[in-house]
Structure 1
Amino acid sequence: MKEKTNLKELFNQYLTGKASEGELLHLLDFFKLEEDSALLRALILAELEKEETLETTEEQQAILNRVSSVLAHGIRNEKVRLRKLYIRWSAAAAVVIIAGFWIGLERIQEGAGIFSSTRKEIIAPGQDKAILELEDGRIINLDSSIGPDAKNSYVFADTSGMMTFSSQDLPATDTKSAERTLRTPKGGQFAVLLSDGTKVWLNAESSISFPAIFAQRTRDVSITGEVYFEVTKNPTKPFLVHARQQTVKVLGTHFNINAYPENDAVQTSLLEGSVAVIAGGKQVQLLPGQMSVWQENQGGLQVGRIPDPENLLSWKEGMFCFDNNNIAEIMQVLARWYDIEFSFEKGDYSNCVFDAMIPKKKSIQEVLNILGASQQLEFKINGRKVIVSQAKSNRN
């Protein structure tokens, strides 16, 4: 076993930009031993809590760029799985955690055999943008190109940097029938601060309809897609969220609703407080850490535990979190964020299941490199369409 003090010193050498190429590879080699990899992960996770900007040499940066694109493949229970990958970029540095896997140098090749493209166009990730439809029918495009007057009056960046529309700072034109709708397109995300102080985050291809000024007895909104709420407490005025055939009733709490139309179920996950979920003539009370699943035609309204609360809001924090997800589910997520289409060539993809955490700021090519590192799948990009196929070595 290697001395833990040596591992810590080596890690500090890397963080201060003093590690040579050999030392960097030696650092990665510690992942071979479980007792040392646990300490290494702890050191890295502790460093990720800091906001310091690290510096690396160009040589180290090139190595990290290659390493971050490729994972070693593993097979467990006859399912193809990638161990969790965490990548955190500062201005000039990256830390890569690969739990339990050693990446052989002979396999560190940028995109070799993973995907091909008929065009050299880089498909960029989504960004903060939305379409706001006002109560009088006016349409306002909210994105990075919006004028300075809007940014100074009703659009601002929140503490995480996400662009936010402040409904309370844009007066209603007709308070009697003043309902507004904020929609994020494919490749877009946005947040909105409602008139009562409630904060709402919208994932890609989602929407929320809400009044400019809430009624006297209730606070009603309607949503599609995936939306996260931090509701301002008001015991005398319940907050009601309508999603498909489901209603969530709260007084003040933090929760996430996933109601994309292509999904069979509506999932409501509670992080803080208490909510009542009403659907199909049934009402259930959720406690923190619980989630409800509403399926109109299969099982009705059910309650269970949130599988991984920390991963639930990864989309809001700028990460893709795939937790035992099939490649078909993953491609749906990527299609919404990168505004692409996808298709599968003939084959059985039921056992292509992945665990991975990847920054949403990466290009689609980089994400496909990571997924393709399992050597089970190949990807072809044709314009804005991605064709998924089984790797030649796995075809019958």
Structure 2
Amino acid sequence: MQYHSYKAEDFLTDDSFIAWVYNRDAAAAAFWSDWMAQAHPNRAEALLAKDILEALNVPETEVSEATLTHETGQILRRVSQSSERRKLPVLGRIWYAAALLILFLGAGWLVWRIPQKPPFLASLLPDARPKEGVVEQANRTDKPVQVTLPDGSTVRLQPNSRIQHVAGFGQKVRAVLLTGEAFFDVVPNPKVPFLVYARDVVTRVVGTSFTIRAYDELPQVTVAVRTGRVTVYSRKELEQQRNVEKPEVTGVVLTPNQQVVFNAKEEVFHKELVEKPVFVAKNAASVSFEFEDVPLAEVFRRIEETYEIDIVYNESLLQKCTLTASLTGLSLYEQLRLISKSLQGSYEVTDGKVLILATGCGE
């Protein structure tokens, strides 16, 4: 084959060239070593492609031709555009591409395609095509990285975290395998539910936002909901019910500001409120937390609607109680503590709900 007319993008998709760069074939190595030693007019294009391939190489992971084409396409286009605008010589294009690669790799943010599905992911996605690749995205920086999935959903990937999904994501299934921690903002699609597999749990949503924390070194997996509604299942129970004609899988339903902690050793879910509840209601910014002799029922109603949580209390015992206080700027727990103190009572959180323990309005 004649390579004298090849551009960098052509070399990047040539099997023989790739085999030489990654030292996979002795014959390719001999051919390209000899070819590079000659004064070909497009030798600089080959060097540029070689630099890009070496920069994109991921240890212990085979990089496919499709992935290389996808990941280097934007770099090459920007190199080409820069060349046209500035009339850069070939050497200038190489340095420009190198600068882009430093930015690309310096972010510690890598995307590649694994030619075959890992065994674990394959067992989760039995309907995926046998030869369908898996896209893996990893954050190797010390800051969160924003990832956009093919369906438009976004993932804020925390440091030392990664996600995997099949290349055909969103067509028949929207399933993601998470290692580490990430905040998901899922685009609604009732016809194609969104599933996140994180160690021992499976989180199922249609369209919502939530955080999952599932580092390998931690004994627990935590799922916390920001908006919408999610259901969390035990992966073990789901797999046991996979081939059952009428499966019965019990999941934990979570609503805003609720979270569940799953202990793999005990195989139990513990449902609670998140550590720092946030405003959820659309009009939350306009809700007043300044109270002047306001019935307690109204106080609780505002808090419930603002945080979209449930407050359980004895309505008959507290129906005549009122509150005069400023709760503006206080966290949810500070508000509850102040209200409980005014009642000479207390509060506790049970199964993701707030229980007010008081028998009257105090003195």
Q: Which TM-score applies when normalising by structure 2?
A: 0.39
- Choose between structure 1 and 2: higher helix proportion: 2
Work out which structure has the larger RCO, using CA pairs closer than 8 Å and 6 or more positions apart in sequence.
1
- Choose between structure 1 and 2: higher strand proportion: 1
Q: Which TM-score applies when normalising by structure 1?
A: 0.36
Larger radius of gyration: 2
